[in-house]
Amino acid sequence: MSSRIDERLRELNIALPNAAPPVAKYVPCVQTGSTLFVSGQVSSWNGEYRYIGKVGKEVSLEDARQAARLCALNVLAQVRAHLGSLDRVTRMVMVQGFVNAIPEFTDHPKVINAASEVFIDVFGDAGRHARFALGAGSLPNNVACEIAAVLEIA
């Protein structure tokens, strides 16, 4: 039996990567009550890092947006692996976006908008969230973007 959100992903032609195992001493998700915290997810697809380099130097704004989109897909993959179904998500609460950028780059919100768009496309109004978009001096494996999230779940 197909879930409502899995059907929505098919309609949007969105495939999710496999949920990546942690690369250090942390867990991908922590649930307390009806709140789920998802650890930072980088722009990788099934173990292959993509969109490598500094935004504004080696990585264009459009490629950085694709990196943020991929990070969002990895967030969804972790949520599905933890909960068993994305249908248990009742609301995206907070999205935390980090952009590996040169100091002169100032379009961090435009980059992280791509992740926000994924969550809104998938969950509708329940995908609307509070957010921050920050520049970072570096990120793991020199990826262009990292996204963490807080969700309300049933």
Number of domains the chain is built from: 1
| Residue 131's CATH number | 3.30.1330.40
User: Which amino acid type is present at position 109?
Assistant: P
pTM for this prediction: 0.97
Query: Of 118, 28, 142, whose CA–CA distance to 68 is shortest?
Result: 118
What is the C-alpha to C-alpha distance for residues 93 and 106, in angstroms, rounded to an integer? 25
23 alpha-carbon distance from chain centroid: 17
pLDDT tens for the chain, 154 residues: list them: 579 999 999 999 999 999 999 989 999 999 999 999 999 999 999 999 999 999 999 999 999 999 999 999 999 999 999 999 999 999 999 999 999 999 999 999 999 999 999 999 999 999 999 999 999 999 999 999 999 999 999 9
Range of the domain at 78: 4-153
- Longest CA pairwise span in the chain (Å): 50
Strand partners, 134: 98
